[in-house]
Structures are given as structure tokens and as C-alpha cells.
A and B are shown apart, each in its own frame.
Chain A
Amino acid sequence: MGAVRRVGVVLLVLLVCSAAWAGKLTVRVTDGGASVGGATVQVQPAGVTGTTNPAGKWADTVPAGAQRVIC
């Protein structure tokens, strides 16, 4: 039982840590304040890319830390 509890604690710690390592980044692309749909978005060094929706937004999971967002 103690071993099972220890495994459970380890899994819980891993879960908490992984939640801290990544999060959802929502990017809104604007031109003069107006939303730009269809713009290509790239996040480096995360290496994720996508295209903004008609509301000018795009979102994806990105690791914590320094990132550069290019559109």
C-alpha cells in the first residue's frame, strides 16, 4: 500500500510539474488595432505554427520560458 501511495505521489508531482512546464499561448494578430485573420503565426523555439482565425486569434500549447512569436 505504501508503495502504491509513493507511486501516486510521484505521478502527482509529475503532473503538477508538467502543468508548470507548458501552457496555452493565445496570439492575437492586429493591424492598426484591427484583427487580422489568415495570418501565419510561428513560435520559436517551441516550433509550433498555425494560422489565425477570422477573429485574428490562434492558440497552441507552448513550453514555459522565453519564446519569440513571429507573424
Chain B
Amino acid sequence: MLKGGIVNTTMPAGNHDITVPIVDAFWIQRYFPHAVGNAWQYRYTRTKADGTVEHETRRERCDRAVVVGGEAAIVWVTTEDGSPAWEETRSCNGVTGFSMYDQGSGADSLKYEPPLRCGPLMPVGYEWVSHAVAHHGDGTPDTPMTFRCKFEGYQNVTVPAGAFPNCARLRVTFEGGGETNRIMVWMARSIGIVREMEQTPDSRNEKLLEEYSIRGLPLRPIRPIGPLVPAPRL
């Protein structure tokens, strides 16, 4: 039994109504809005093992809706400094939680069977572990893949796009092909990823949210992704 909220009550004679707030868990659907047209712009900094630092502007966009194995999903397109970088097919909903079906582009792609998943409800401290086989687009033999995701708690985060209270902090690990990537992710409610720190075998990468356009967001007007203007560098 996953514990997201607990309320002790004394049941009286007759009917009784109570509300149980989820306070010790993370409902990923509400933090990772996957809807066509949603877009995010990040300042991405890569620090290589030799100390070299590279900056780039990374844009991520929910490009189009697709169906994978009978499940509704979104193709997530990433560009780096305006150039197409890669695509991922993902979904995020209240039933299956977050799922990643494939990533990459062309020959340099990976398809996960079954999809890598976590959620939908993630109790604090509980680690989701998802095993899959990664099929390589270039014909390389299949490799086993392990995806781990752990919700560690809520934190306030300030990035160029603004201050975001009570962001969910997740510890994510990808293991496969003899390589392990460790990622710390901070997600703001209704916004998505606002900060990410990744440790790969040869670099340390940080991603900070600069601009975003989220469909249906109540407190912010919907803006087209085209003319997004980067926020001033800190």
C-alpha cells in the first residue's frame, strides 16, 4: 500500500465525510504537463571532465500526439541552440504515471520494451525501479536497461524563469550498456522541470528553466513558442 496521505478519524454513528490531502507523496501527472504545444526553454551548462564549460540554449516541446502500443503518448522534441537534437516518445497521466517509450533519432535511437515507467503516485522515499530491454536503431545488440526514480521531498527552487515553491525533487538513474547516468530533477506543479543536474561518466550538466509556455496554465497567459525571448543570464 503506497502511503501518500494518512488521516486518523473517529467514525461516528451515521455518515461521515473526510478529506485526505496527499502530503507525503508526489502525483507526477500534476507536475509534468504533457500536452501538445507545451514548451520549455532552458539554459544548459555542460562541465566536462577536463574543466571545459559549454553553454547552450535548449528548447523542449511537446510536438505531436501519437499512440504507442495502444497508449496515448507525446513526441517530445529537443533542440540545442536552434538545431534539432533528438526526440523522445513519452506520456504522463494519472493511470500509468510517467512512461518513456523511445528516445534518440534515426540510427542513433533507443526503443524501450517495456516502456520505462514511474508513478503515478510516488510516496516520499520510495524508489520505483523499471527494467527494460533497449533496442538500438543502429543494429547494435539489445542491452538491458534499468530506470530508477525516487521522490525525495519538496524544495523551493529559484531559476531564471522565477521562484518556484514546493518543487518535487526526484533522484533518477539510468543504467544500461555499462554506463550510469544520475540525474537530480526538480519539478514545479503545473510547470514541469525547472532544474536538472546530471552526472554522466564524462560531464556534469545543469539545466535551468528560462522560459515556458504551458497550455491551460491558469496564472500565466498562453504564449506562442516561436518568439520566446530568453530571460537575462544571471
Contacts and interface: CB of A to CB of B under 8 A. Distances in A.
Please determine whether chains A and B interact with each other in the same assembly.
yes
Interface of A: 19-21, 23-32, 34, 36-42, 46, 62-71
Contacts of B3: 70-71
Contacts, number: 97
B189 interface: yes
A13 to B, nearest CB: 14
B219 interface: no
B21 A64 contact: no
B181 to A, nearest CB: 29
Interface of B: 1-22, 27, 30, 94-95, 120-121, 189
Nearest to A65: B11
A25 B21 contact: no
B20 A25 contact: no
A25 B30 contact: no
Given A38-B120, A39-B121, A40-B1, A69 B18 contact: yes
Across the A-B interface, the 8 shortest Cβ-Cβ residue pairs: A20-B13, A24-B15, A26-B17, A23-B14, A31-B22, A28-B19, A69-B7, A31-B27
Q: Which of A20, A36, A38 has the most CB of B within 10 A?
A: A36
A26 B189 contact: no
Contact of A64 (B4, B6, B12, B22): B12
A30 B30 CA distance: 12
A31 B21 contact: yes
Given A40-B2, A63-B11, A70-B3, A25 B16 contact: yes
Contacts of B14: 19-20, 23
